Amino acid sequence: PARPRLSPTRIARIARHALPLLPLPLIGAWAVADWHTVRDGAARLSSADPWWLLAGLFFTCMGWVIAAVVRQGALPERLPPGLLLASQFAAGAANQVLPASIGAHAVTLRFLQSRGIPLSRATASLALYSLVKPVAKTLVLLAFLVAFPELLHLGELLPDRRTLLMVAGGVTTALVTAGVLVTAVRPLRRPLLGFVRTALTDARILHTRPSRVLALWGGAAATPLLQASVLASVGFALGLPLSWTQVVLALLLASTAVGAVPAPGGIGPVDAAVVFTMITFGAPMGLAAATVIGYRVLTVWVPLLPGALVLSVMVQRKIL
C-alpha cells in the first residue's frame, strides 16, 4: 500500500519542533573543523586564574548589553529592551558564521521588521550603526595614542607604503564603482536616493535627542573597550606581562589595521594582528597566542550554543 503523504501543515509543525535542534549538528561540525583551537584554548583556560576568567565572562556579557544599547541608539522608535537584548545575543551566534557582520545584521534586520519598522528605515539604521562603530573606535584609538604616546612603537606597527597604497586603491575603486553603477544603472538610482534620504532624515532626528546620541556614540565607544577588557582579563588569568592599556592599544591597532578583512567574527586576520602587536609590546609569543585563543573560546565558543538556541527559538516563535 502507498504511504500516506504528509500534509504541508504537519511538515511545518515538524520543522518548527526540529528547528531548535538544528544548531547542535552545525556547532558539532564546526568544533570538529576547529578542534585544535577548542582543545588548546580549553586546556589553557583550565589552568588559568578563575577570578580573572569570571571578570572576562562579565565583560563578554556586557558586550551584548552595549550592542543592544547601540542598536537602540540608531533608531528613533523605542524597542522592547528584553527582546532587543535577546536578538543581539542571537546575532552574536549568527555573526560567527558569516563574514563582515552579515549574520548579525541579518538577525537584527529581521527583528526590526518584526517590530513593524519598514525595510528602508531598518536598513538605514543598520547603515548608521555600521558607520558610527568604526568612527567611534578610531576616536577611542586616537584618544589612547594622545594619552599614552610612549606605548606606541610607530616604526614597528605602522603599515608600509605598499600596504597603504593597496588600501587606498581598494577604497578608491569601491567608491568609483559605486558611483558608476548609480550613474549608469537607472533602476538603482531611485531606491538608492530614497535610502540616502531616509538615512539622513533618521540621523538628523536621532541627533536631536540626547539620549539617542549617548546610546549610539557612547555605546559604540564603549564596545572596543569592553572587548579589550575581555582580552586583558584572559591575559591576566594566564599571567600576560602587559598592562590593561597595552592590551587595549593592541586590540585597537590590530582591529583597525585588518578589521576590514571579511572573516567570520573577525577570526583569523585580527587574531594574528593582535598576537603580533602584543609581541611588539613585549609579551612572549606563546603567551600572547594563548591569550588570543582563550579570548576566542570565551567570546565565541562559550556563548555559541546558547546563542544559537536562542536564535532558533526566536525564529520558531516568529520574533525573527
β-partners of residue 99 are 264
pLDDT in tens, 269-307: 778 888 888 988 888 888 888 888 889 888 888 888 788
Please say if the pLDDT value at position 154 is more than 60.
Answer: no
Please say if the pLDDT value at position 176 is more than 80.
Answer: no
β-partners of residue 40 are none
C-beta neighbour count of 29 within 10 angstroms: 10
pTM: 0.77
Please say if the pLDDT value at position 114 is more than 70.
Answer: yes
pLDDT (0 to 100) of residue 2: 47
Please report which residue ranges of the chain form alpha helices under DSSP H.
8-18, 23-33, 35-46, 50-73, 81-95, 102-114, 119-147, 154-157, 161-184, 186-206, 210-213, 219-238, 244-258, 269-280, 285-296, 302-316
The residue-averaged pLDDT of 152-181 equals 61
pLDDT in tens, 200-250: 888 899 889 999 999 999 999 999 999 999 999 999 999 999 999 999 998
Which contacts qualify for 95-102: CB closer than 8 Å, 24 or more apart?
Answer: 95/264, 95/265, 96/264, 96/265, 96/267, 96/300, 96/304, 97/264, 98/264, 99/262, 99/263, 99/264, 100/262, 101/130
Task: Retrieve residue 79's grid coordinates.
Answer: 524597542
Write the CA distances from 148 to 135, 141, 195, 232, 248, integer angstroms. 20, 10, 41, 17, 11
Where does the pLDDT of residue 7 fall: very low under 50, low under 70, confident under 90, or very high at 90 and above? low
pLDDT (0 to 100) of residue 101: 72
